[in-house]
Amino acid sequence: MNLELIPLLIIALLMISAGGADVETTEFVIEGDHEITEHRGALIVGDATVTVPADEAVSGPVYVIGGEFRVNGTIEGDVTQLSGSLVVEDGATIGGELQHISGSEELSTEATITERTTVAFESSEPGPIAAYTPFVLTTLILALGGTWLSRKHELLLDTVGAAAQDHPLISLTVGALLSVTFLSVFVFMAFTLILLPVSILGLLVGLVTVAYGIIALGYLAGQQLNTPRVGLATGFGVVVVMVVLQVIGAIPILGDLIAGGLLLTGLGAVILTYFGLQEFEPVSLPE
């Protein structure tokens, strides 16, 4: 699944919950080409092509967060387009409200749409200050966190850093497996109304763990300065790591792979050492 769909998926689920629909009967179409002829409950169109044939009716509501949603028949409820493409053909009917927030749309003049609203956002090109403010603030927070952590609990960062430095392949593998596994679990948990807050909380914990990994990598980078001021060195190292991630991330594909590899290595090292509380010793196979 396209990772960019996850924030939109969470927004759609929150809108479904707020609208009083049953989240547990929600169908999420992730990929492929599909014809929907009958569905009772909410429908989310992800990175897929979904068609409602002529003379067929779907109750709705329908949320389009990616891919293409083509209506030849009837949607009895509301249609909300957050992204992707929406095509309403001749003779098609949307019995509820069609709310367009973002994405492309083709609406036939021969189609019947009971109510149509558009949520307009003013798009403006951010200036240099606005564009880089989030990066600067994030770097500053991580650098301050790294400075404090290295002064108060240097052994934790030393243990995590040692795992990342001595066992990078294992750390990378563990980080990648955990990311895929937990991301899938959090997405499926989001489909249940009760576990939706747990899913959001889990994603926040994941982000904090990734931040911990960046600080540990910054600690390793700071050690190259050979200075007894470990706090200052770690803060500087975190800045270097963040700048490196920002620069190489601008390189298409290869830069993303390298930046992702660094982040996953840090994440894996954090998990392998239980956040630095225990040194990681790989299992030795008997001779």
Q: What is the 3-state secondary structure (H, E, C) of 180-218?
A: HHHHHHHHHHCCCCCCHHHHHHHHHHHHHHHHHHHHHHH
In the predicted structure, residue 116 carries a pLDDT above the cut 90: no
Furthest-apart CA atoms within the chain: distance in Å: 76
Rounded-to-integer distance, Cα 44 and Cα 54, Å: 20
Query: Residue 174 in contact with residue 160, Cβ under 8 Å?
Result: no
- Give the pLDDT score at 228: 81
pLDDT-above-90 percentage for the chain = 29
Taking the alpha carbons of 8, 68, 34, 38 in that order, is the dihedral positive or negative?
positive
Residue 239: which pLDDT band, with cuts at 50, 70 and 90?
very high
- Give the pLDDT score at 185: 74
pLDDT per residue as tens digits for the range 122-158: 555 667 777 788 889 999 999 999 999 999 999 999 9
Whole-model pTM: value is 0.65
Q: Which of 235, 221, 185 is nearest to 205 (CA)?
A: 185
Q: Which two tokens stand for residue 83?
A: 């992204």
- Give the pLDDT score at 109: 86
Rounded-to-integer distance, Cα 277 and Cα 287, Å: 30
In the predicted structure, residue 99 carries a pLDDT above the cut 80: yes
Query: Residue 58 in contact with residue 52, Cβ under 8 Å?
Result: yes
Q: Which residues contact 112 (CB under 8 A, 6 or more apart)?
A: 92, 93, 94
- Give the pLDDT score at 145: 93
Rounded-to-integer distance, Cα 55 and Cα 73, Å: 5
pLDDT per residue as tens digits for the range 48-80: 888 888 888 888 788 888 888 998 888 888 888
- Give the pLDDT score at 202: 79
Under DSSP, the state recorded for 52 is E
Helices (H), the chain: 5-18, 128-152, 154-166, 168-189, 196-223, 230-248, 254-272
- Give the pLDDT score at 125: 63
pLDDT-above-70 percentage for the chain = 88
- Give the pLDDT score at 4: 66
Residue 95: which pLDDT band, with cuts at 50, 70 and 90?
confident
Rounded-to-integer distance, Cα 98 and Cα 79, Å: 5
In the predicted structure, residue 213 carries a pLDDT above the cut 90: yes
- Give the pLDDT score at 191: 61
Q: What is the mean pLDDT of residues 28-46?
A: 80
Q: Which of 105, 151, 169, 160 is nearest to 278 (CA)?
A: 160
Least confident among 16-30, 68-82, 176-190, 260-274:
16-30
